[in-house]
């Protein structure tokens, strides 16, 4: 009898089945390795931002404010703008600074002001890699329509921490039942110093993740950012220091000075990380948009000492809130 020159059908099916089993065994490990790499990259982003803020404070003796708000009613530039030179984005910062950042410059990209007309194309389509978690499921850009054209602005993954709703500074008259704090490092239009963090820089959060949909509600943005991206901050120049102190009306009113309690680029910690449900006070740019992450079982945060920590969903809620306040003097639990 001559030698066989091919596999039989049974042999071929057995080989295919074995390959399928091997792939099924290896694929989860490969996916886990990829996610571990993405989580490390996200951690590096937060580390870079924390060091950038630290270097900013070393240079100017203060941290940048959450927003350069003023009594002009314009949405000011955010800390994400001010820190650009410290994260190797000097050329972009120089282009923005050439337009200006003062009281007459609105960073709401839907504004018709002459300065915003100059800003719009500078930031259109621009991505700062350090502002985006590689695991995020959110789109890269959101659209702003103006003058018959469409402009795209980056969807950031990290939010500044204004404080917690157990701080004595909290204004409880926020929109949709929101609680707006002034107890953290970035509560609005004030430039804090690290020396003001009396709880210790290793016990206070600078910023954390908002890199996923809350309760898996895809395309329902519950973040501290509007389509204008990380560049647009609050326009209320006051700082929360008790009920009725941040806003005179408790809502957005374009005709009343310092009446806007919408919370841009910053959030007040009220819920545990990755909440399973939603509430009206979590609405987009309300005071209490929660920290959420595409990483399993928790979120990453950057502390004021420059370190990055992974906080699990099961962290004690009081501990989590005390981490958000800079000077409450409370005893922290394990985190």
Quote the CA–CA distance of 311 and 193 in Å, as a whole number: 25
18 occurs within a structural domain: no
pLDDT for 141: 98
| pLDDT score, position 52 | 97
Given a contact cutoff of 8 angstroms between Cβ atoms, the answer to whether 261 and 321 are in contact is no
- Is 195 within the bounds of a domain? yes
Digit-by-digit pLDDT tens for the chain (335 residues) are: 556 566 677 777 777 877 877 777 766 665 666 878 899 999 999 999 999 999 999 999 999 999 987 777 789 999 999 999 999 999 999 999 999 987 778 999 999 999 999 999 999 999 999 999 999 999 999 999 999 999 999 999 999 999 999 999 999 988 889 999 999 999 999 999 999 999 999 999 999 999 999 999 999 999 999 999 999 999 888 999 999 898 877 677 777 778 888 999 999 999 999 999 999 999 999 999 999 999 999 999 999 999 999 999 999 999 999 999 999 988 787 88
CA 76 to chain centre: 17
Residue 261: what pLDDT?
87
Is residue 10 one of the residues assigned to a domain?
Answer: no
For residue 27, tell me if it sits in a domain: no
CA angle 288, 294, 295 (to 5 degrees): 110
Residue 153 covered by a domain: yes
318 within domain boundaries: yes
DSSP H helices, the chain, are 9-60, 79-82, 90-99, 114-123, 317-324
Phi, then psi, of 59 in degrees rounded to 5: -80, -45
Q: How many domains does the chain have?
A: 1
Q: Whole domain around residue 209: which residue ranges? A: 35-324
Task: Say what the pLDDT of residue 252 is.
Answer: 72
Token readout for 117 is 């007309």
Q: Are 132 and 156 in contact (CB under 8 A)?
A: yes
User: What own/partner pairs with CB < 8 Å and gap ≥ 24 does 118-123 have?
Assistant: 119/231, 120/144, 120/146, 120/151, 121/151, 122/92, 122/95, 122/96, 123/96, 123/153, 123/229, 123/231
**Per-residue pLDDT tens digits for 201-256:** 999 999 999 999 999 999 999 999 999 999 999 988 899 999 989 887 767 777 77
The answer to the question of residue 286 being in a domain is yes
pLDDT at site 145: 96
pLDDT by residue (tens digit) across 274-286? 999 999 999 999 9
Q: What is the pTM of this model?
A: 0.90
Phi-psi region of 274 (alpha: psi -120 to 50; beta: other; left: phi over 0): left
CA distances from 315 to 168, 255, 319, 321 (A): 22, 42, 7, 10
In a domain, 48, yes or no: yes
């Amino acid at each position: 009898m001559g030698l066989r020159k091919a596999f039989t059908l049974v042999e071929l099916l057995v080989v295919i089945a074995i390959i399928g089993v091997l792939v099924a065994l290896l694929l989860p490990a490969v996916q886990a390795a990829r996610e571990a790499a993405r989580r490390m990259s996200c951690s590096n982003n937060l580390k870079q931002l924390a060091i950038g803020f630290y270097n900013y404070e070393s240079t100017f003796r203060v941290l940048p404010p959450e927003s350069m708000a003023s009594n002009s009613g314009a949405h000011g530039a955010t800390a994400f703008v001010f820190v650009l030179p410290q994260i190797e984005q000097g050329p972009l910062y120089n282009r923005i600074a050439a337009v200006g950042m003062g009281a007459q410059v609105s960073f709401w990209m839907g504004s018709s002001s002459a300065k915003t007309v100059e800003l719009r194309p500078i930031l259109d389509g621009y991505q700062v890699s350090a502002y985006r978690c590689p695991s995020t499921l959110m789109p890269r850009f959101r659209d702003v329509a103006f003058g018959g054209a469409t402009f795209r602005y980056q969807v950031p993954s990290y939010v500044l921490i204004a404080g917690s709703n157990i701080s004595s500074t909290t204004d409880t008259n926020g929109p949709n039942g929101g609680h707006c704090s002034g107890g953290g490092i970035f509560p609005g239009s004030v430039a804090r110093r690290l020396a003001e963090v009396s709880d210790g820089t290793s016990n206070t959060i600078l910023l954390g993740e908002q890199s996923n949909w809350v309760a898996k509600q895809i395309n329902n943005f519950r973040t501290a950012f509007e389509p204008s991206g990380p560049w647009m901050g609050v326009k209320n120049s006051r700082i929360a220091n008790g009920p009725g102190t941040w806003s005179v009306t408790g809502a957005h009113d374009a005709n009343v000075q310092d009446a806007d309690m919408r919370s841009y680029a910053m959030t007040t910690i009220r819920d545990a990380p990755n909440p399973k449900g939603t509430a009206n006070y979590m609405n987009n740019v309300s005071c209490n948009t929660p920290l959420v992450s595409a990483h399993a079982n928790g979120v990453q945060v950057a502390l004021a000492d420059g370190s990055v920590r992974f906080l699990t969903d099961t962290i004690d809620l009081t501990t989590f809130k005390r981490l958000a306040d800079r000077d409450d003097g409370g005893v922290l639990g394990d985190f």
